[in-house]
Amino acid sequence: MIPLRKNIAEMAGYVPGFQPKNPQEWIKLNTNENPYPPSPQVIEAIMREIGSDGEILRQYPDAASKDARQAAADLYGFDADWLIMANGSDELLNNLIRAFANEGDEVAYVEPSYSYYSTLIEIQGAKSHTFTLDDQYKLAGFPERYNGKLFFLTSPNAPLGCAFSLDDIDDLAHRCNGMLVVDEAYADFAAENALSLVKKHENLVVTRTFSKSYALAGMRLGLAVAHPQVIAALDKIRDHYHLDRLALVAAEAALRDQKYLKQRVGEICATRDWFTGQLIALGYSVIPSQTNFVFASPADGDGQRVYELLKQHKILVRYFSDPQLSHALRISIGSREQMDAVLEVLERNC
């Protein structure tokens, strides 16, 4: 017998979104990747860092991510000690649990939202609690005071695409005795974000990813904004060289090219709003989205049927067998041409 910890031996492990073997043969709208390349400044920065011979790669990267951290601080209007960079926002979610929850402590998240929270909670040996949403997509049954060590609120929500209001988030921060983590993976596509609330609540953490809006899922980059004492704790427990040299220069260049970000986000939001209208014309119900995907249900409420249909046409979208979600599909917003291809299949088979 290999002497594993009991909760590790018993847990299933996270299953990431399907990545096909020959991605170029597919229209891939299942993991909310960006259809456009990252900023040309990012490519330039990476090339510059590698140089002609890659000699620099002998040397360890900056353990403090100083330049990237400063670029984020400048952008969001915080001092640098309110910010930490990360190897994907997944690293932050993991380290937040490690920093705040002992074995057996309660950690909460919304169902439906990002299923990785429950995996991370299992690894820590903490206890999961879930809150559900009512038919207005507002939190149902959240107590006047919540005593769990952490509450992960995905806003805008994935896979639904709708956002919680700032008033609601403000109120939740008051009601949480533990930490409120607002996972803002999709905030760049949304009308508002919770950054202004971070200065007001020392128990509020905002996490961001470069995987969606910045088109850098392959670089593994994220960041968090929180009170300096929270950031100092996250700084203590991370791997010291968690970001490689190429990721660091990519992050800094991406953050400093907001013009490019805004242009691409604008294109994706325009495609999203147009695509939503087209789906509604085909009889789908679509939740108004503040993200780079839509959650859309066909008139017969059979998500799996449409998933299989699109798959036959080499189009991959996300279907969830969970009975709460199986009536619909999560479709990432690709280029206008890719969404036209989706509509063409759906028009012939609605």
Ligand X SMILES: *Cc1c(COP(=O)(O)O)cnc(C)c1O
Distances (CA, A) of 64 to 84, 99, 241, 337: 9, 19, 8, 42
Q: What span, in angstroms and rounded, lies between the C-alpha atoms of 151 and 179?
A: 6
**Contact between residue 89 and residue 183 where contact means Cβ atoms under 8 Å apart:** yes
- Report the site for ligand X in 199-218 (rule: CB under 6 A): 209, 211, 217
Structure tokens that stand for 326 in this block: 């199986």
Q: Per CB under 6 A, does 49 bind ligand X?
A: no
Minimum distance between the CB of residue 266 and ligand X, rounded to whole angstroms?
20
Q: Mark the segment that binds ligand X (CB under 6 A) among 22-30, 62-70, 88-96, 166-174.
A: 88-96
H helix intervals, 6-81: 6-10, 40-50, 66-76
- Pick between residue 89 and residue 338 the one whose CB is nearest to ligand X: 89
Q: Per CB under 6 A, does 95 bind ligand X?
A: no
Q: Per CB under 6 A, does 151 bind ligand X?
A: no
Residue count at the site for ligand X (CB under 6 A)?
12
Give the DSSP H/E element, type plus range, for residue 93. helix 89-100
- Residue 88's nearest CA partner among 293, 291, 253, 244 is 244
Minimum distance between the CB of residue 139 and ligand X, rounded to whole angstroms?
16
Q: Per CB under 6 A, does 292 bind ligand X?
A: no
Q: Per CB under 6 A, does 38 bind ligand X?
A: no
Parallel, antiparallel or unpaired: strands 285-286 and 204-209: unpaired
Minimum distance between the CB of residue 205 and ligand X, rounded to whole angstroms?
13
Encoded one letter per residue, x for contact with ligand X by CB under 6 A and - for no contact, window 118-137 reads --------------------
Q: Per CB under 6 A, does 158 bind ligand X?
A: yes
- Pick between residue 34 and residue 203 the one whose CB is nearest to ligand X: 34
Q: What span, in angstroms and rounded, lies between the C-alpha atoms of 159 and 167?
A: 22
Minimum distance between the CB of residue 169 and ligand X, rounded to whole angstroms?
15
Q: What span, in angstroms and rounded, lies between the C-alpha atoms of 229 and 206?
A: 14
Which of 68, 150, 185, 346 is close enough to bind ligand X by CB under 6 A?
185
Which of 82, 100, 109, 114 is close enough to bind ligand X by CB under 6 A?
114
- Residue 11's nearest CA partner among 102, 182, 128 is 128
**Contact between residue 149 and residue 178 where contact means Cβ atoms under 8 Å apart:** yes
- Report the site for ligand X in 164-183 (rule: CB under 6 A): 183
Q: What span, in angstroms and rounded, lies between the C-alpha atoms of 256 and 42?
A: 10
Q: Per CB under 6 A, does 71 bind ligand X?
A: no
Q: Mark the segment that binds ligand X (CB under 6 A) among 84-92, 94-102, 132-140, 261-269.
A: 84-92
Q: Which residues bind ligand X (CB under 6 A)?
A: 88-90, 114, 154, 158, 183, 185, 209, 211, 217, 222
